[in-house]
Chain A
Amino acid sequence: MSLAYYPGCTLKTRARNLEKPAVASMEALGFKLDEVPRWNCCGAVYSLADDDLIHRVAPVRNLIRVKKQGKTELVTLCAFCLNTLKRANLLMKEDVEKRDTLNDFIDEGIDYSGEVKVVHLLEVLRDDIGWEALSQKVKLPLRELKAAPYYGCTLLRPREVAIDDVEDPTILREFLKALGASPVDFPESTRCCGSYQVISSPDDIAEYARPILNSALSHGAEAMVLTCPLCDYNLGQGQKELAKKQSGFREMPLLYFTQLLALALGLGPQVCHFELNHGSPESLLKEKNLLSQSRSVQPIGG
């Protein structure tokens, strides 16, 4: 089964370690992630100003291309892209006046009114495949891996685009359980990592990371599971700084959820590109015997 897929800029460069294991895993499960033809950068952040229509052109153009592809659902993987595309989509669905202005301005030959459903890959796993079916595909259960699911901001806020309960999300916990891991809930799992503040105030990033990492560590986590390349960068750089400043501070391996998915499906470390991770997870995974080579999976999708 083929799914329209929007990768975004970061997944093609710095965060290939988020994309590659996702593509391989979905293929193993019988789903082809089919890139939207001629996709462009979504703009990374959704403009929060009511009159700023020009910055909505980029995400809307992508959505129009999905419609042209003949698809009704768009799968995203980058948490920033999900947020921007989903908010732009909501605007096109609900605000008639702005929709008309944007449709008049964007010269793509067809009109758009929010017909495409924007989803995150985690939602495909939860809603289309299901945790039970996923767990049956696991070749290498992530037994004894105490992993803390970290959500950050853009999967859950604002409320109208959240992929799960805003206050008490469970999607990553259920995902980890399906892979056989032991999820470690911690209270700071939805606290912001500092986001784009890293470009203007790089020295503040460690202090954004501190409460998040400390909270996960004090609840017994051995690794943190991420969905966003900026969280990976900020928490990874942040903990390096903290380790320099604070003797005894223990750095935590940081992993993308897609890397754990690929390992659990038996696809092996070669699809995971661990060399790009900011918090190096390999020694922990080795210790847990999770780095063995690939095995074949019976696909789910038709």
Chain B
Amino acid sequence: MYVTISPKRSRREFVRKVKELSGQNLQLCYQCGMCSGNCPAASNMDISPRRIIELARLGLDEEIAGSKTVWTCASCLACAVNCPRGFDLSKVMEAIRLLTLRKNIDHIRPEDISPKQRCELPQIAMVSGLRKFTG
């Protein structure tokens, strides 16, 4: 995937918010790809975890918004414990999710969960899923 970078396209405000919500210094990442290699959800993502950081620090919010990666992340923290730079990518994923959810745009609707699933799922699945996917 090629992206064009220009001062006009890059969104400083987006970078600032991601940093603020995640508490992570985006410049710390040296793009080694350890996070992508350890991510159990990577094969379901269209943009790899490593690349999300690169796009985020360039402020390319539209590319990120068009991707399903942050909604595919399971917050398992395999990336965080394996990063040689001590960078917590799971917090960046959460920050990006929240930037959408806080605009009152939910990723799922509770009524779309099948009635069978609603009866069978453990409560921790419902509570955690709705916490991650709705605002």
A positions within 8 Å CB-CB of B: 8-10, 13-15, 41, 43-45, 47-52, 55, 78, 80-81, 153, 156-159, 166, 190-192, 194-202, 204, 207-208, 229-230, 232-233
- Residue B60 at the chain A interface, CB threshold 8 Å: no
Contact B40 A44 (CB under 8 A): no
Q: Inside 8 A of A204's CB, which chain B residues have their CB? A: 44
Residue ID in chain A nearest B133 by CB atoms: A200
Contact A196 B125 (CB under 8 A): yes
Q: Please give the distance in Å from B31's CB to the nearest CB on chain A.
A: 22
**Residue interface mask B92-128, A partner, CB < 8 A = 1:** 0111001000000001100001100100111111111
Q: Can you list 14 pairs linking A and B with CB atoms under 8 Å apart?
A: A9-B124, A14-B120, A14-B121, A44-B123, A48-B88, A49-B22, A49-B94, A157-B77, A195-B128, A196-B75, A196-B129, A208-B41, A233-B122, A233-B125
Main secondary structure, interface of A, reads: loop
Residue ID in chain B nearest A233 by CB atoms: B122
The number of residue pairs between A and B whose CB atoms lie closer than 8 Å in the complex comes to 137
**Residue interface mask B10-48, A partner, CB < 8 A = 1:** 000000000011110000000000000000110110000
Contact B41 A44 (CB under 8 A): no
Contact B72 A201 (CB under 8 A): yes
Q: How far is the CA of A48 from the CA of B122 in the complex (A)?
A: 22
B75: contacting residue among A41, A156, A195, A232, CB under 8 A? A195
Contact A196 B128 (CB under 8 A): yes
- Residue B90 at the chain A interface, CB threshold 8 Å: yes
Contact B122 A49 (CB under 8 A): no
- Residue B131 at the chain A interface, CB threshold 8 Å: yes
Contact B76 A15 (CB under 8 A): no
- Asked whether A44 and B124 contact (CB < 8 A) given A153-B77, A157-B76, A157-B80, the answer is yes
Q: How far is the CA of A153 from the CA of B121 in the complex (A)?
A: 18
Q: Please give the distance in Å from A21's CB to the nearest CB on chain B.
A: 17
Residue ID in chain B nearest A51 by CB atoms: B21
8 nearest A-B residue pairs (beta carbon): A192-B76, A199-B129, A48-B94, A157-B77, A196-B129, A44-B127, A229-B122, A9-B123
Q: How far is the CA of A49 from the CA of B91 in the complex (A)?
A: 6
- Residue B81 at the chain A interface, CB threshold 8 Å: yes
Q: Please give the distance in Å from A163's CB to the nearest CB on chain B.
A: 14
